[in-house]
Chains A and B, each alone.
Chain A
Amino acid sequence: MRLMTLSAALTLAAGPALAAKDCAAGKTITDGTLTIATGNPAYYPWVMDDAPESGEGFEAAVAYAMAERMGFEAENVTWTRTSFDESIQPGAKNFDVNLQQFSITEDREKVVDFSSPYYSAAMAVLVRQPVVENGAEPTLESLKALKWGAVATTTAVPMLTGLVDPEDDPLLYNDNPDVIEAMKSNQIDAAIFDLPTALYLSAVVLEDGVVLGQFPADRTENPDRFGMLMEEGNPLRDCVNAALDEMAQDGTLAQIEAKWLSETTGVPVIE
């Protein structure tokens, strides 16, 4: 009883966002709690140390900022983990929103709902130093001759086949560590990731990794924009979008991006 009074008092104190708070009431899978899904594991720099509860990392920070605007205090946010397949399988979901660098695509939107984009990802080319020494350059022509790899469940795959169109068929893998392993074994020369991930992999995971270049988000016909995934027809979507749009307008998203994804400048643009 005391707890309820306390949370009611807190709600009142949060004054300005009252409308958004009302919006989410009764629309979450557990009343009074926002359940957010991330990957298993969740990767740097999207979530630091695979611990989203800390609010550290770009997506974790975005999630808590959005939750706050929707009227959920940090302690009323719970995290769950899903694979890609679980997030799109038919039937009831065990999360309200799911964010793990899902790219918004028309086809996916037929099956699930996406929020407004919270990040526009440039795609980047990760290679190893010896490949650079062998003359690889950030030009499409040079890239065509490389042996390519990518994570099979990402939009890097259509980008690879559509934009780069390499001479050899690309090899596809389950997750980032497998792609890195194939690069270490020299089975592939280059792989496509979103830019923050590529920077992280080159800096921390792949010893002689180099981000050869990036495809700017506006370069492609379908720029890679990350959205939060929800069950189709989820009434919460309007509340989520209201919060995200507000964060975009008042510069909150840009601030969070600057804090966690700041190193993305200075990577050559692929011609």
Chain B
Amino acid sequence: MAKLELRGVQKRFRGADVLRGLDLSVDNGDMVCLIGASGSGKSTLLRCINLLDPIDDGEIRLDGQDISAPELDPQPVRQRIGLVFQSFNLFPHMTAEENVMLAPRRIKRQGREALRPEIAALFARFGLDDRMGHYPDQLSGGQQQRVAIIRALAMRPEIMLFDEITSALDPELVGEVLDVLRQLKSEGMTMVMATHEMSFAREVADKVCFLSDGHILEQGPPAQLFERPEHARTAAFLRAVL
């Protein structure tokens, strides 16, 4: 059974169809990359999976459980799904450590002292143990985005979603963030990532999906999709970005 399964997902925004019956399946431990033009629905899809935006029709299953039922309380589901944003969205009034600690403290009802060893270990794992006491505006973009990833990981999610997390970064800072993803991949994390980093997708992804007009026009292993796209539009997009 797939870890994450989307069937016929539809989403309208102010009268416009953003997702039109989209199907997607993500296996345990896989890294799935979503590519496509701006406005093709990649961000919306990720927000829908995290239940930040409710879908209009279709269903989303996590470990076989329908998490998209309208009557379902989204809060426990979101705790199982990490989401990292393009613009980091760190809480500016909290230090890096406080940013990471907030959700575990409130949701798992654990004290700061009890949480500290685990949080410190997470920072150390991604080379930020000397930045725990810094406020977001004292960190570089790359450091901020790594803190945002650590913040999502602190809830021990079963799956991580990344929404163009390197697009807002200066080019020289992209590498340190992508290294984090490589590390997570090697640790067996299930991940879905909207990205424009084609070479990274080609290197790391288990599956690449090309979004167009609100559904997945074409998907497959990177070698196949990048070398031998079946659809003319996929080919045209790839020619434009590569």
* A and B touch in their complex, CB below 8 angstroms: no
